[in-house]
C-alpha cells in the first residue's frame, strides 16, 4: 500500500485460501495498491488503533472499508466490530462481515453491532468469487465518489 494515503480496504482474514481469492478478485478490479491485510484479531486492533507493530501508522489514515472475518485467532470478529463501533473515529467506516458462519446469532449480533453487510462465504469457489467481485465494485464506487467530492 502507498503509505501516503489510507487503505481502501483493510482485510481481516486468517484463511490463506480465502485471502488469495479476495486479493485475486481485487487485483482484477485494479485494487491492489491500497489494501492492507491482518491475520488475527489482535493485529486488527493494533492496526486500527495505531499501536503495537502499527504504532507508526498515522491516526486518521483509516481504511475506507473493513472486510472482517468472524472466526479469527486471538480475538473474534464480533469483538473487533464492537470496538470499531465503540470508537468515534471508526464508527462510520463500513464493515463488511465476510464469514463462513451462517448462525442466526452471529448475523443478528453483527448487525446489532453495526455491520454494514453480512455475507456468508460459500464453499463454492465461483460463488465466493462473485461475492468478492461485488465488494470490489463497492470499493471502486466509493473511491470514485470520494474523488469527485475532492474535485
Express each pLDDT in 38-63 by its tens digit: 999 999 999 999 999 999 998 888 99
Look at the block and give the residue holding cell 500500500: 1
pLDDT of 72 higher than 80: yes
Q: For the CA atoms of the chain, what is the radius of gyration?
A: 15
Cα separation of 74 and 87, whole Å? 20
What pLDDT shows up at residue 115? 96
What pLDDT shows up at residue 151? 46
Q: Are 90 and 110 in contact (CB under 8 A)?
A: no
What pLDDT shows up at residue 126? 77
Residue 25 — pLDDT band, cuts 50, 70, 90?
confident
Q: Which domains does the chain have, with CATH numbers?
A: 9-150 (3.40.50.2300)
Burial group, residue 33, by CB count within 10 angstroms (0-12, 13-18, 19+): exposed
pLDDT tens, 107-150?
999 999 999 989 888 767 777 777 777 777 777 777 666 555 54
DSSP string, the chain: --TTS--SEEEE---HHHHHHHHHHHHHTT--TTEEEE-SHHHHHHHHTT-GGGTTSPTT---SEEEE-SS-SSS-HHHHHHHHHTSTTTTTS-EEEEES---HHHHHHHHHTT-SEEEEPPSSHHHHHHHHHHHHHHHHHHHHHHHHHH-
What pLDDT shows up at residue 119? 86
What pLDDT shows up at residue 86? 95
Residue 105 — pLDDT band, cuts 50, 70, 90?
very high
Mean pLDDT of 19-27: 86
Mean pLDDT of 92-114: 94
Cα separation of 53 and 55, whole Å? 6
Counting residues of the chain whose pLDDT is more than 70, the rounded percentage is 88
Report the phi/psi class of residue 52: left, alpha or beta, with left for phi > 0 and alpha for psi in -120 to 50: left
Amino acid at each position: 500500500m502507498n503509505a501516503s494515503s489510507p487503505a481502501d480496504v483493510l482485510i481481516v482474514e486468517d484463511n490463506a485460501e480465502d485471502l488469495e481469492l479476495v486479493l485475486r478478485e481485487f487485483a482484477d478490479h485494479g485494487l491492489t495498491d491500497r489494501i492492507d491485510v491482518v491475520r488475527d484479531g489482535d493485529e486488527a486492533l493494533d492496526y486500527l488503533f495505531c499501536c503495537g507493530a502499527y504504532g507508526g501508522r498515522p491516526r486518521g489514515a483509516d481504511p475506507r472499508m473493513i472486510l472482517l472475518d468472524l472466526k479469527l485467532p486471538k480475538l473474534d470478529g464480533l469483538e473487533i466490530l464492537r470496538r470499531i463501533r465503540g470508537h468515534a473515529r471508526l464508527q462510520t467506516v463500513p464493515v463488511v462481515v465476510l464469514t463462513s458462519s451462517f448462525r442466526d446469532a452471529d448475523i443478528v449480533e453483527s448487525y446489532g453491532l453495526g455491520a454494514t453487510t453480512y455475507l456468508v462465504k460459500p464453499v463454492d469457489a465461483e460463488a465466493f468469487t462473485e461475492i468478492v467481485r461485488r465488494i470490489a465494485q463497492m470499493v471502486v464506487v466509493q473511491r470514485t465518489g470520494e474523488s469527485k467530492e475532492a474535485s
